[in-house]
């Protein structure tokens, strides 16, 4: 357990495939000490054989007697750098994380302008990085609404950020654009659209998996929700026709900066909940902790506490 936590970033790379691919050309270790480092790191952390490793050049560090040693690991053309510390005499290798206590993780997740569900003035905010084509996101969505929302009522507010996994979900980006077109006019209509798409994914995909038909279905659903919500249809049609992905791509960049490797990905007042479709019981523990930190008493658990049925296997958003 301790070893896994030491190299959480490294293990995420090993256990997930291709959500945010990067190209790299790993070098071959070129010295006896490099080979020694590679052998021991592979053994210590149980790296699969198809993970390649490149040992970089030591650089000055802030710790007396140690230098920073960058190690790049690669799998399936996806790379990540892990910084170790190596002693000046070359006998010890250390990995440690520095946490800047002056920065609140919640500060890096802006929600200004995003539709809010629940009490806009609630002290606890649940942020979900969502993919409208992701079945695990759909399951998580069903747990949040209405179960979790009904449980916490006005104590919590919910915000969705876009993170469509376009490599595996071909209509997710189009769905996000249409959703944001609705959000520009009405938060409630945005949520009505999100509710519908998350519960009718197969309808959107269609039996023949024709992408153009999926796009047409998404546009039709957006226009139907706009009609019910009495929105400006001309403005909506112009927005749908434009298919401006700028806002969604900005959200995707934010997700990548937060090292989100799959959807759904939930943060509660800046605290990251384990990735994937999180069991309701686990999510409520985190929300209760955030409420107490804000001086709010969480509601009592129901007579039969929700056990939740979602597995962490959903972290790839497939």
Residues 89 and 60 both lie in one domain: yes
Specify whether the backbone of 206 is left (phi greater than 0), alpha (psi in -120 to 50) or beta: left
Q: For residue 230, tell me if it sits in a domain.
A: yes
Specify whether the backbone of 258 is left (phi greater than 0), alpha (psi in -120 to 50) or beta: alpha
Residues 36 and 144 both lie in one domain: no
The pLDDT of residue 97 is 75
Q: For residue 274, tell me if it sits in a domain.
A: yes
The residue range of the domain holding 271 is: 105-316
Which residue, among 250, 246, 224, has the nearest Cα to 236 in the 3D structure?
Answer: 224
Cα–Cα distance for residue pair 181/240, rounded to 1 Å = 7
pLDDT grade for 305, boundaries at 50, 70 and 90: low
Higher pLDDT, 37 or 108: 37
pLDDT grade for 245, boundaries at 50, 70 and 90: very high
Helices (H), 144-279: 149-152, 172-183, 187-199, 201-205, 211-228, 233-242, 246-257
When pLDDT is averaged across residues 143-167 and rounded to a whole number, the result is: 97
What's the whole-number average pLDDT of the chain?
Answer: 86
Q: Is the pLDDT of residue 77 over 70?
A: yes
Q: Is the pLDDT of residue 198 over 80?
A: yes
CATH code of the domain containing 243: 3.40.30.10
Q: How many CB atoms lie within 10 A of CB 140?
A: 26
pLDDT grade for 308, boundaries at 50, 70 and 90: low
Residues 118 and 154 both lie in one domain: yes
Q: Is the pLDDT of residue 18 over 50?
A: no
Residues 150 and 176 both lie in one domain: yes
Domain end point (choices 94, 115, 134):
94
Q: Is the pLDDT of residue 8 over 90?
A: no
* Number of domains making up the chain: 2
Q: Is the pLDDT of residue 76 over 60?
A: yes
Q: For residue 100, tell me if it sits in a domain.
A: no
Q: For residue 236, tell me if it sits in a domain.
A: yes
pLDDT grade for 20, boundaries at 50, 70 and 90: very low
Residues 33 and 128 both lie in one domain: no
In percent, how much of the chain has pLDDT > 90? 68
Domain end point (choices 75, 94, 113):
94
Cα–Cα distance for residue pair 291/306, rounded to 1 Å = 19
The pLDDT of residue 311 is 40
Q: For residue 99, tell me if it sits in a domain.
A: no
Residues 109 and 52 both lie in one domain: no
Q: For residue 49, tell me if it sits in a domain.
A: yes
Residues 115 and 7 both lie in one domain: no
Residues 27 and 145 both lie in one domain: no
Higher pLDDT, 28 or 19: 28
Residues 114 and 198 both lie in one domain: yes
Task: Please spell the DSSP secondary structure of 117-167, one letter per residue.
Answer: EE-TT-SEEEEEEE-TT-HHHHHHHHIIIIIIHHHHGGGEEEEEEE---TT
Residues 198 and 269 both lie in one domain: yes
Torsion, Cα 238 196 162 242, to 10 degrees, reads -10
Higher pLDDT, 266 or 5: 266
pLDDT grade for 25, boundaries at 50, 70 and 90: very low
Domain end point (choices 94, 123, 156):
94
Higher pLDDT, 75 or 133: 133
Residues 127 and 264 both lie in one domain: yes
Residues 146 and 228 both lie in one domain: yes
């Amino acid at each position: 357990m301790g070893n896994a936590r030491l190299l959480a970033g490294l293990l995420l790379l090993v256990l997930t495939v291709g959500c945010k691919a990067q190209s790299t050309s790993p070098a071959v270790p070129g010295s006896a000490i490099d080979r020694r480092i590679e052998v021991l790191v592979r053994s210590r952390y149980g790296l699969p054989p198809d993970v390649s490793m490149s040992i970089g050049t030591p650089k000055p560090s802030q710790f007396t007697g140690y230098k920073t040693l960058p190690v790049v690991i690669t799998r399936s053309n996806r790379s990540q750098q892990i910084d170790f510390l190596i002693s000046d005499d070359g006998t010890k290798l250390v990995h440690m994380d520095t946490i800047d206590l002056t920065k609140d993780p919640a500060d890096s997740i802006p929600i200004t302008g995003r539709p809010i569900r629940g009490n806009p003035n609630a002290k606890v905010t649940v942020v979900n990085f969502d993919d409208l084509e992701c079945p695990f996101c759909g399951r998580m969505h069903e747990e949040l609404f209405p179960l979790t929302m009904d449980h916490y009522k006005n104590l919590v507010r919910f915000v969705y950020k876009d993170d469509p996994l376009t490599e595996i979900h071909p209509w997710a980006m189009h769905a996000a654009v249409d959703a944001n077109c609705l959000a520009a006019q009405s938060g409630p209509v945005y949520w009505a659209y999100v509710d519908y798409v998350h519960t009718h994914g197969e309808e959107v995909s269609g039996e023949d998996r024709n992408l153009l038909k999926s796009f047409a279905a998404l546009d039709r659903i957006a226009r139907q929700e706009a009609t019910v919500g009495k929105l400006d249809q001309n403005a909506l049609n112009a927005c749908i026709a434009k298919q401006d992905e700028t806002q969604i791509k900005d959200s995707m960049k934010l997700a990548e900066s937060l090292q989100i490797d799959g959807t759904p990905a939930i943060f509660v007042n800046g605290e990251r909940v384990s990735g994937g479709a999180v069991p309701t019981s686990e999510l409520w523990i985190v929300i209760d902790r955030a409420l107490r930190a804000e001086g709010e008493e969480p509601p009592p658990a129901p007579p039969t506490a929700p056990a939740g049925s979602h597995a962490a296997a959903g972290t790839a958003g497939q």
